[in-house]
A = this chain, B = another copy of it.
Amino acid sequence: MAVHTVTWLPAGRSVRLATGTTLTEGLREAGLELGQPCGGQGRCGRCVVQVTAGSVRRRSTLRLSPADLEAGYALACQAMVEGDATVRLLATEAELERRMVTDKCARRVEAPFDYDPARDQTIRAFALALPEPTLADAVDDWARVERGLAAYGIRGLEIPLPLLPTIGERLRSSNWRVTAIVETDTWHRPGGPVRLIELLPGAAQAPAGLFGLAIDIGTTTVTIYLVDLHSGQVIDTAAEYNGQIARGEDVISRVIYAGKNNGLDELVSLVRATINTLIGRLAARNHVRPDQLYKASVVGNTIMLHLFLGIPPASIRLAPYIPAATRPTPWLAGALGLELHPLANVDCLPGVASYVGADITAGVLACGLADSQALTLFIDVGTNGEIVLGNRDWLMTCACSAGPAFEGAGVLCGMRATRGAIEEVWINQATHEPTYRVIGEGAPRGLCGSGLIALLAELFITGLIDKRGNFKLDQDTPRVRIGDHGAEYVVAWAAEAATGRDIVLTAVDIDNLIRAKGAIFAGFAVLAQSVGLSLDAVERLLVGGSFGQYLNVEKAVQIGLLPDLAWERFTFLGNTAVLGAYLALLSRQARSRLQAIAARMTYLELSADNTFYDAFTSALFLPHTDLGQFPTVARLAAAGEDALAASSRGGKP
């Protein structure tokens, strides 16, 4: 087979590739990497490159118009080497994003309750001034430490083997004055023996240097809180894209990738590497040694936790969607390859089902739903929409497969909420000209979730699309047109865009967005219906997830993503998952409550009958088939139609 030289720009690296090799493979060969959110199926368009010279076989896809092909663009996953070639990597999104998803500025968060480590914390430090052994008092070192702890009311000691060989020297070299760091009874071994994690020289009266981590493994972003286990304060936070993103942007792509040769191992290594990177950053910034991190509480959706623990997630993807475990017991950091103290327990918090994971139970804990008298709806929107309805007496939950549209995937000009993303849009009712706000304030590069919702709402409210989402093409504006991908609205012209290409929302995009919001709303409806309630009865609606932080509620209601409730009933909570992990890290009582919450939550499998499908099809309208459920929106839309009619009349006198 013929072999060709392919040179990658701007790196200037050359590799020898056989005929038929994809450019994606060629990139790996050169040690370069582009994200593959769709897993290399040519659907997402993220791996676009430009062939500047030579012979590469390319094909037109949904993502590449004939004009794009003409200009040399190619999707690396779909393009094959045919001869020598030079290929340019575009300023990659990943590169730009790396600068955006940074740690929120370091902030101190006080413990959210009256924290008392002696009552709440399982990681404790005890100063021991032990009597030196004599012939008359010759108990072994282990028993001597145990006796020292008994003075604090601690009974029973377990010293793990990796530590045991070192204690004799530690006791003697510190002249029998040591600080014992132990883990007292944990949720999975209540009343079990206390476990020695570390034995430090010196009997410090005020325990210092006791830290723990609350870790949220998001499909997109991993977030870590560094917590002082003595004061209970969050002393710093850090976040970074989940290193698995390059192997698939949504959970299903990851499950598929995990099924490939070594795919699982690779995904496991990637996410652990991300966590270690964040730990390194937090440790350096706060002068904390990794071996002072004595515990971690981990949340994430069920698939993320499977991939973190190295459990094949295959059975989660296919009916009846069974995970291997939703309530794993803790495991040691050393065995997991995490750079905490090797004997630190890493506690993956309990989830409920394949699609309602520990991120949601942690969210329920953090938002107080399970203790609430008021009927409360909790939603965490991401790739999936996980919903919990209930109060202190009962908890119902379900997950709707919304797809990644709100994360900017499956949308032509979609992108994640990062620098260059249009996050808010307004359309002038009269001129149909848009105004928009861009994250990072530079030229726009695409539309992120909140921008998409805003644009969809504006198009609907201003009457540019109808309640089915179809464009009204008879408008007197160049912004609504038939483009390469069918009807579309141009939100930014090429000249003003950082990409040098028009930023548009197409009819296909709109269809995707409507299906996504319809799935979530149908989830609300089915949950309420399952307990014989109407959504009107919901007294509080809590929105978790970082997505919620930037959401314009009004517009989310206008498109029928959220129910049409009075604004004061909405609360946006941000990342409730990591907050729940933080609570579980601090408090053994919170950890037990979490276990109880997971056990109490009744999971409703939406694919089990037609109820969901019926609710879904009813929700494939803007805002909904049943306008009676959206009285506010109905009034607005009517006003918009009138205005449009007036403007049309005005435009064509």
Max chain B CB contacts within 10 Å: which of A140, A143, A325, A336? A140
Q: Is A328 an interface residue (CB 8 A)?
A: yes
Whole-angstrom CA separation of A316 from B327 in the bound complex = 44
Additional 11 contacts, C-beta under 8 A, given A142-B328, A165-B310, A189-B189 = A133-B322, A135-B608, A138-B322, A140-B322, A140-B325, A140-B326, A159-B325, A164-B324, A165-B311, A168-B312, A168-B315
- A286-321 to B contact mask, C-beta < 8 Å, 1/0: 000000000000000000000001111011000111
- A331-371 to B contact mask, C-beta < 8 Å, 1/0: 10001100000000000000001100000000000000000
Q: Is A172 an interface residue (CB 8 A)?
A: yes
CB distance from A488 to the nearest CB of B (A): 39
Q: Is A568 an interface residue (CB 8 A)?
A: no
Question: Does B605 contact A159, Cβ atoms closer than 8 Å?
Answer: no
Q: Is A534 an interface residue (CB 8 A)?
A: no
CB distance from A313 to the nearest CB of B (A): 9
CB distance from A11 to the nearest CB of B (A): 37
CB distance from A48 to the nearest CB of B (A): 36
Chain B minimum-CB-distance residue to A162: B335
Q: Contacts A133-B322, A138-B322, A322-B138 known; A168 to B329 CB distance under 8 Å?
A: no
Q: Is A40 an interface residue (CB 8 A)?
A: no
Residues in chain B near residue A328, CB distance under 8 A:
142, 159, 161, 164
Of B142, B189, B321, the contact of A324 (CB 8 Å cutoff): B142
Question: Does A311 contact B164, Cβ atoms closer than 8 Å?
Answer: yes
Whole-angstrom CA separation of A605 from B161 in the bound complex = 28
Q: Contacts A133-B320, A141-B323 known; A309 to B161 CB distance under 8 Å?
A: yes
Residues in chain B near residue A138, CB distance under 8 A:
320-322, 353-354, 603, 605
Residues in chain B near residue A164, CB distance under 8 A:
309, 311, 324-325, 328
Whole-angstrom CA separation of A328 from B598 in the bound complex = 35
Whole-angstrom CA separation of A613 from B325 in the bound complex = 64
Chain B minimum-CB-distance residue to A608: B135
CB distance from A555 to the nearest CB of B (A): 35
Q: Contacts A140-B326, A320-B138 known; A312 to B169 CB distance under 8 Å?
A: yes
- A222-261 to B contact mask, C-beta < 8 Å, 1/0: 0000000000000000000000000000000000000000
Whole-angstrom CA separation of A399 from B607 in the bound complex = 72
Whole-angstrom CA separation of A70 from B159 in the bound complex = 57
Q: Is A134 an interface residue (CB 8 A)?
A: yes
Q: Contacts A135-B608, A159-B329, A167-B324 known; A189 to B188 CB distance under 8 Å?
A: no
Q: Is A136 an interface residue (CB 8 A)?
A: yes
Question: Does B135 contact A323, Cβ atoms closer than 8 Å?
Answer: no
Whole-angstrom CA separation of A159 from B188 in the bound complex = 12
Whole-angstrom CA separation of A305 from B584 in the bound complex = 39
Residues in chain B near residue A142, CB distance under 8 A:
324-328
Q: Is A192 an interface residue (CB 8 A)?
A: yes
Interface residues of A in 133-170 (CB under 8 A from B): 133-143, 158-159, 161, 164-165, 167-169
Write 11 A-B pairs (CB below 8 A) sorted by A numbering: A138-B354, A140-B323, A140-B326, A140-B353, A141-B322, A141-B324, A164-B328, A167-B324, A168-B315, A168-B324, A188-B193
CB distance from A200 to the nearest CB of B (A): 17
Whole-angstrom CA separation of A172 from B314 in the bound complex = 12
Residues in chain B near residue A172, CB distance under 8 A:
315
Of B189, B309, B608, the contact of A165 (CB 8 Å cutoff): B309
- A605-630 to B contact mask, C-beta < 8 Å, 1/0: 10110000000000000000000000
Interface residues of A in 472-488 (CB under 8 A from B): none
Question: Does B192 contact A143, Cβ atoms closer than 8 Å?
Answer: no
Residues in chain B near residue A354, CB distance under 8 A:
138
Question: Does B608 contact A136, Cβ atoms closer than 8 Å?
Answer: yes
Residues in chain B near residue A188, CB distance under 8 A:
158, 193
Residues in chain B near residue A165, CB distance under 8 A:
309-312, 324
CB distance from A10 to the nearest CB of B (A): 41
- A46-71 to B contact mask, C-beta < 8 Å, 1/0: 00000000000000000000000000
